[in-house]
Structure 1
Amino acid sequence: MNRREIELAPIVHVLGARPNFVKAAPVIDALAARGAEQAVVHTGQHYDERMSEIFFTELGLPEPDVNLGVGSGSHAAQTAALLTGLEQEFTSRSPALVIVYGDVNSTIAAALVAAKLQIPVAHVEAGLRSFDMTMPEEVNRRLTDQLSDLCLVTSPEAVGHLANEGVPVERAHLVGNPMIDTLLRNLDAFDTGRVRAGLGLPARYVLATLHRPANVDAPDIAAELVGHLHGVADLADVAIPVHPRGRATLLAAGLDAHPRVHVLEPLGYIDFLAAVRGAAAVVTDSGGLQEETTILGVPCLTVRPNTERPITITHGTNRLVTFEELVPEARKALEGDDPARAERRPPLWDGQAGPRIADVVMEFLGEYGAAR
């Protein structure tokens, strides 16, 4: 492409799962304010309305230009469908830049296709590392960063991870966290009282979300986790919107057998964050929820041996727990004994990450076009 062609070609955002939508909204808005031509490709990796379509409505995202509808499947089958669909899409659109988000299969597939077609790639949330290669997300994020021309970083330690892996320093840009932009923009809409009444929850409850393969795929492990969740429910009601991943296994393990466990359908963004905001504590294995609770000031117990978001521990409300630690740590959180809680926010988690990303992207495209 010459410079004029780059100016006319679209910036293509590839979105596949709930966290992608939340991160993309402020970036799309900020680029639109700068007059950028854009297109949104929804891969359909999350295909349930409450897991995808509702987020476009609630977050004010433009309707996707295309939905590839890849659906679920094994990692290999899903990624293969993504590669085929995205190659066709990029070939027909000739993007000036492909922007990918997070660490899902849609992210690595889009980065790989774009790199092979010699289309520049920008990765929002680059450099996060759990150092646990048994996690599919860790594989996805490491490979995506190696393929990316722009590594858009949400927290300072991620810059060091990229440098250690040989990513040239000029590719890395500390821009802040666009997921927090979306949270702060919608803060007044998080009506805890309305959501609590609608879901039949008491004034004091714990919110849980669990979907990681290591926690929910094996029936014996899921059963052990459910037993500890029942122990938390002995302390306070537990509300758990059940992710499609692991639903059958968790229910087979007796998740709903405790009278104070409220098994819910997946919630939209506004209702979910309203429920989080009103919770006495959160139990999760999600990455993004560690960040959201940090800003909302809600004690967060992350049922994982590691986190790619350590800043939520040093600057926020998060702590890592084993199954055996879950009940005693929940008791401490419910009693208000939460030494991990901090008043300060991580650097640049200020609601302005979207505009900073747009500035980096527009400067990059100007320089890229001038060099062609």
Structure 2
Amino acid sequence: MKITIVAGARPNFIKIAPIIKAIEKKQNEGAKLSYRLVHTGQHYDKNLSDTFFEELNIPHPNANLEVKSGSQSVQTAAIMIAFEEELLQNPCDLVLVVGDVNSTMACAIVAKKLNIKVTHVEAGIRSGDMTMPEEINRIVTDSITDYFFTTSTWAGENLLKYGAEPSAIHFVGNVMIDTLYQNLDRISAPSFWNKFDLEAGNYIVLTLHRPANVDEEKSLVNLLAGIDKMVGDKKIIFPIHPRTKAILGEQNLNLKNILFVEPQGYLNFMYLIKNSFAVITDSGGISEETTVLGIPCFTMRNNTERPETQNIGTNTLVGTSIENLKKVFGEFLANGPRKAGIPELWDGKASERIIAVLLTK
């Protein structure tokens, strides 16, 4: 079986790393299995792409489509054009896509139109928010997928509602957690650790990138000012996304606790998360990692496509208003973290299960 694996953005790189390791393990055991890795170039900042290949020991991509940025339609179209040429020149039996970025949807469409089977890793998750480009990417991708690999039984139930064949749905666990477990003994403090006098538990990690939180400059500044004031004497480490940085520009925000840093590589970022007091974010993936690491997480969104992180894990959905965040965070400071656990099959073996299933197809 020849598999083409697609990666386009930071979360994709983290998800494909253990899948590649699982393939190579089976190859060493004599399985007739090969892969070709295609990087679409959707994330092209070195701190958002190249670093992850180096740190996670992912082989250099066989092809980089170098599509870079653009509007949703421009970027999706560019990926489709380039990926079609890639598949025509390098035929395969299966295209494996992960997550919910534009590359995921675009490459799935191209593969199906070339009559190539599609595997979707992290299939079936839904936020119910059609204003999110990712939600559209999920729905479209799952509508044409042949083999679904899910992180939860809830995701499988979503797929059944959409008409997926039960025999095509495989609950395997979470590949993001595979990567976390495989690298926990390699995580390391970032270069600014001593400069900022950071210690375990004396700082909060902040990440913001979703349009609802960062696209309007005034509301973003008000949000940051509110977060800055509510944390007491805790430092706030804010690895600022290039898009968010551009919106803020060069203005002096006069913030007491928030420390702006460059986007971090995986090993440094996981060290920051693991040793933090808490995390404030609008990312879905980070809430999965905090759940496994036992770190309180406050997600600034009105919905989540990962309800297991809220129902079982450490994640609390707080909406997008600073007032509600202050209320919920205040309750956390007063009462301490709530009891939480780790979802079923988030045990570091999801990738092995995926490859074992594919070898039966």
Q: SS at the partner of 2:283?
A: coil
- Stretches of structure 2 that go unaligned for 5 or more consecutive residues are 28-32
Deviations, residues 168-221 of structure 1 (Å, cap 9, x unaligned): 111111010011011011112234597632655355011000001111112233
Superimposed CA distance per residue, residues 272-299 of structure 1 (whole angstroms, 9 cap, x where no aligned partner): 0000111100000001101000000000
Match of 2:15 among 3, 13, 23: 23
Q: Is 2:44 the partner of 1:52?
A: no
SS in 2 for 1:348: coil
1:118/1:193 CA distance change after superposition, 3 Å: closer
1-structure distance, mates of 2:248, 2:198: 21
Tell me which residue corresponds to 2:30. none
Answer whether contact 1:332 1:338 (CA < 8 A) is retained: no
C-alpha contact (below 8 Å) 2:40/2:67 kept by paired residues: yes
Residue in 2 aligned with 1:207? 205
1:112 and 1:311 mapped to 2: Cα distance? 29
- Given that 2:105 and 2:138 are in contact with CA atoms closer than 8 Å, whether structure 1 keeps it comes out as yes
Asked if 1:269 corresponds to 2:266, the answer is yes
Distance 1:168 1:216 in 2: 39
CA distance in 1 between counterparts of 2:43 and 2:9 reads 5
Structure 2 residue matching 1:238: 3-state secondary structure: strand
Cα distance 1:253–1:313, how it changes in 2: closer, same or farther (>3 A)? farther
Contact 1:16–1:106 (Cα < 8 Å) also in 2:
yes
**1:196-345 mapped onto 2 (5 Å cutoff):** 196-197=193-194, 200-201=197-198, 203=200, 204-251=202-249, 256-322=253-319, 323=321, 324-334=323-333, 337-339=336-338, 341-342=339-340, 344-345=341-342
The one-letter code of the counterpart of 1:337 is G
How far 1:251 moved relative to its partner?
4.8
Distance 2:212 2:248 in 1: 13
RMSD: 1.7
Alpha-carbon distance in structure 2 between the residues aligned to 1:360 and 1:88: 29
TM-score (norm 1): 0.91
Which is richer in helix? Answer: 1
1:336 and 1:183 map into 2 onto residues whose CA distance is 29
Q: Is the 8 A contact 1:112 1:147 kept in 2?
A: yes
Distance 1:95 1:253, change over 3 A: farther
Q: Which residue number corresponds to residue 3 of structure 1?
A: none
Shift, 1:228, TM fit: 2.0
Taking structure 2 as the reference length, the TM-score comes to 0.93
Whether the 8 Å contact between 1:190 and 1:277 is mirrored in structure 2 is no
Give the counterpart letter for 1:214 in structure 2.
A
Q: 1:174 & 1:199 partners in 2: Cα distance? A: 43
Aligned length: 353
Q: Which residue of 2 aligns with 1:367?
A: none
Deviates more, 1:183-192 or 1:54-63: 183-192
Q: Distance in 1 between matches of 2:210 and 2:324?
A: 18
Contact 1:27 1:178 in 2 (8 A): yes
Q: Distance in 2 between matches of 1:97 and 1:199?
A: 48
SS of corresponding position for 1:257: coil
1:336 CA drift (Å): 5.8
Q: Which runs of 5+ in 1 are unaligned?
A: 1-6, 365-372
Whole-angstrom distance in 1 between the partners of 2:39 and 2:20:
14
Assess, with a 3 A threshold, how the Cα gap between structure 1 residues 253 and 305 changes in structure 2: closer, same or farther. Answer: farther
